[in-house]
Amino acid sequence: MEATLRGVGVSHGVAIGEVRHMGTAVLEPPAKQIPAQDAKREQGRARQAVDAVAADLIARGNLAGGEAQAVLEAQALMAQDPELMADVDRRVAVGSTAERAVYDAFAAYRELLANAGEYLAGRVADLDDVRNRIVARLLGVPMPGVPDSDEPYVLVARDLAPADTALLDPALVLGFVTEEGGPTSHSAILARALGVPAVVALPGAGELAEGTEIAVDGSTGEIFVNPTDDKKAQLVAAAAERKAALAAATGPGATADGHKVPLLANVGGPADVPAAVDAGAEGVGLFRTEFLFLDDNKNAPSEEKQTEAYRQVLEAFPEGRVVVRVLDAGADKPLEFLTPADEPNPALGVRGLRTLLVHPEVLRTQLAALARAAEGLPVYLEVMAPMVADRSDAKAFADACREAGLQAKFGAMVEIPSAALRARSILQEVEFLSLGTNDLAQYTFAADRQVGAVSRLQDPWQPALLDLVALSAEAAKAEGKSCGVCGEAASDPLLACVLTGLGVTSLSMGAASIPYVRATLAKYTLAQCERAAAAARAADSADDARRAAQVVLSGE
C-alpha cells in the first residue's frame, strides 16, 4: 500500500529505488584490563589507528574537493586532537585496551559538548564518526558505511557522516534520506553540491524496511513508500519537465519582465570554481576562506599562500563580481591558534569578526593577501565580515580594510538579528549587505542549525526570518546600496522568487542550484514575486508561507 511521509527536502530532484541502510554502528569494545607492560604497545596501536584514520579522511577530502575537503580536513584534525590523544594515553596507562581507551575518551569529550548546550551537535555527529572509524580499525572489523551494491538504490541512514556523503557515487546512490540533520547540515550542503536528491529530518526513517521501493522528492521533502505506477509516472514527468525548463533557461538571472537578479555561486576554494563556471554563475557571492586555515590548526597560512589561492578564484571570473568572506572562525569552526577552548557557549562568544578583532594581525595578513591577489585583474572584488552585530563592528572592519590599502567594496554579513534591525545604521560604514540566512535563522529562533529536532525553526520560509530579510533589503534600498543573500535559502527556487520580491538584489548558492533558480525566476514578473513575498510574510508558519507563495505564483 502506498504511503506518504514528509521530511525536509534539501536537494532538488526525484529518486526512485529500493531502500538500502547504512551499516550498523561499531559495537562497544569490551572493558578488559591489560598488563602494565603492554601499555606502551597499546598506546602505539592507538596512535597508529588515529593517524591512519586521519590520513584516510584527508585522502577522501582530496578526492572530493571543494566544500567536502574542508569538512573532512576538519574531521582529521579532530581525530588527532592533542587533548583527546592525551586522554587516550592516560586511560591505557591505567589498564585500558587501545580500543576501549579511544571509545571512553571520545565519550567523555562528547559529553562535554552535550553539556555545553548542544550548539555543537553537528560536531558531535562528526566526532562519533571519527570514533567509529578508529575503533573499527583497532578491532579489525569493516567500517560501517555506504553499503556495497551493484544496483542503484536509495540510501537511508540515521545521519550521514561527511566522509560518507562526500564520496557518494551518484550512479549508484540515487538519493538519500536521513532521520537527523537539517537544511543547513553538512550532509545537506554536500548533497546539493553532488546534485543528489535528498530529504533529511524524516521521523522514523530507520523503520523503512530494507528493499522497500520508495520515491524521494528532494524539492518537496515527500517520501512515497511503495509508490503506484501512476505516482512514479507523475514524478518522472515532473522531473522531465523541470529538466526541460533548466535547459531552456540560459544567461544572466532575471525575472520574466527583465528585472536583473545576478545569480552567484558559493565556493569554498579553487576546487569549487569549475562547477560554478559550468553552471553559468555570474560571479561568487560567498567565497569561504576557511579552507586555507584548516590545513594547519596551529598556525595561520602565510600571506603568499593565501594570495595564490585567492588569485585562482578571482581569475576565474574576469569582470565578474567576487565577494570574499574573511575568516569565520569559532563556534563549529575552532582553530587552535585563534579560538578559546573554554567558552561555555561558543555560538554566543568570540567568533567571526569578533575573533579577528582580537587577533588583528590575522585580519591584516588576509586583507593584504586579497589586495595582492586582485592586482592587475578586472574583477570586481568585494570583501565582507562575518558576524557583524552593529555599526561599531562595521566601522572597525571598514577601517581595517582601508588601512590595508584594499581597493574593494567593504560589506557586512547580516547573521545576527540586531544587524537586520539596525541595517541602515550599519550601512553608514559599509557599501553592501549579505544575508547569511543559515545563521540568521539559528540566532533568530535559538535553534541549532545542525539539530534535526528543531529543523522546523531552521526553515528559511519562517515569516519572522522573511521579515528580517525585508528590513535589511529596505534599508539597503533607502541607502542606494545592495543587499544579497548567500545563505542556503537562495538555493530554493520558489523562495528565490520571494526573496527577489522582498527586494534582495542578488542570490548566491551552491553551483548545482543555479540552473533551477534561473529557470524559476524567468517564469515570473517582479510584480508577481512581490505579491508572493507579501503573501508569505502575512502567513503564521513556514508551511503556510510556502503554500501562500505557491498559490500566488501559480495564479490559483
Q: Report d(CA 434, CA 394) in Å as an integer.
A: 13
Please indicate whether residue 133 or residue 255 has the higher confidence score (pLDDT): 255
Which region among 44-58, 124-138, 154-168 has the lowest average model confidence (pLDDT)? 154-168
Question: Active-site residue numbers?
Answer: 186, 486
What H or E segment, with its residue span, contains residue 432?
A: strand 432-435
Would you state the pLDDT for residue 346? 74
For the whole model, what pTM was predicted? 0.70
Please write the tens of the pLDDT for every residue from 42-93. 999 999 999 999 988 888 777 777 667 777 887 888 888 888 899 999 999 9
**What sign does the dihedral 430-436-439-443 (CA atoms) show?**
positive
Specify whether the CB–CB gap between 465 and 437 falls below 8 A: yes
pLDDT-wise least confident of 36-40, 90-94, 341-345, 425-429: 341-345
Mean pLDDT is lowest, of 23-32, 227-236, 514-523, for 23-32
User: In the structure, what pLDDT confidence band is assigned to residue 240 with cuts at 50, 70 and 90?
Assistant: confident
How do residues 455-514 score in pLDDT, each as one tens digit?
Answer: 788 889 999 999 999 999 999 999 999 999 998 799 889 999 999 999 999 999 988 889
Burial letters 442-452, b for 16+ CB under 10 A, else e: bbbbebbbbbb
- pLDDT given for residue 145 in this prediction: 72
Average pLDDT over residues 385-400: 98
Cell of residue 114, nine digits: 552535550
> How sure is the predictor about 117, in pLDDT bands with cuts at 50, 70 and 90?
very low
Does pLDDT of 168 surpass 70? yes
Sign of the CA dihedral 168, 173, 174, 179? negative
Is pLDDT of 450 > 80? no
All three cell numbers of 438, joined, read 543559515
- Lowest mean pLDDT, pick from 176-185, 277-286, 355-364, 519-528: 176-185
Mean pLDDT of 528-555: 95
pLDDT at 546: 92
Burial group, residue 115, by CB count within 10 angstroms (0-12, 13-18, 19+): exposed
Q: What is the pLDDT of residue 334?
A: 67
pLDDT in tens, 26-52: 668 888 899 999 999 999 999 999 999
Percent of the chain at pLDDT > 70 equals 91
Q: What is the mean pLDDT of residues 298-323?
A: 92
Q: What is the mean pLDDT of residues 142-154?
A: 79
**Which residues, 6+ apart, have CB-to-CB distance to 500 below 8 Å?**
255, 259, 261, 507, 521, 526, 529, 533
Per the document, the length of the chain is 556
Q: 233: Cβ–Cβ under 8 A, 6 or more apart, which residues?
A: none
Average pLDDT, the chain: 88
CA dihedral sign of residues 398, 403, 406, 407: positive
Amino acid identity, residue 317?
F
Question: In this structure, what are the phi and psi dihedrals at residue 546, rounded to the nearest 5 degrees?
Answer: -60, -45
308/313 Cα distance (integer angstroms): 9
Q: Is the pLDDT of residue 159 over 90?
A: no
> CA dihedral in degrees (139, 143, 144, 149; nearest 10)?
-130
**How confident is residue 118, by pLDDT bands cut at 50, 70 and 90?**
very low
Rounded to an integer, what distance in angstroms lies between the CA atom of residue 428 and that of residue 476?
10
Instruction: Give the pLDDT band (50/70/90) at residue 116.
Output: very low
**Is the predicted pLDDT of residue 248 greater than 50, yes or no?**
yes
SS3 176: strand
* pLDDT the model gives residue 136: 87
Q: Could you tell me where the beta strands, DSSP code E, fall in 441-511?
A: 482-485, 506-509
Question: What percentage of the chain carries pLDDT values higher than 90?
Answer: 58
Instruction: Answer with the residue of higher pLDDT: 33 or 526.
Output: 526
pLDDT at 347 over 70: yes
Spell out the long-range contacts of 373-377 with Cβ–Cβ below 8 A and sequence spacing 24 or more. 373/306, 373/307, 373/308, 373/310, 373/311, 373/314, 374/310, 374/311, 374/314, 374/407, 374/408, 377/311, 377/314, 377/315, 377/318
Q: Which ranges of 121-227 would DSSP assign to H, the alpha helix? A: 121-139, 162-166, 186-194
HSE (side-chain half, CA atoms, 13 Å) at 303: 13
Average pLDDT for 127-155:
83
CB distance 75 to 130 below 8 Å: yes
| Residue-level pLDDT at 452 | 59
Q: What is the SS3 assignment for 499?
A: helix
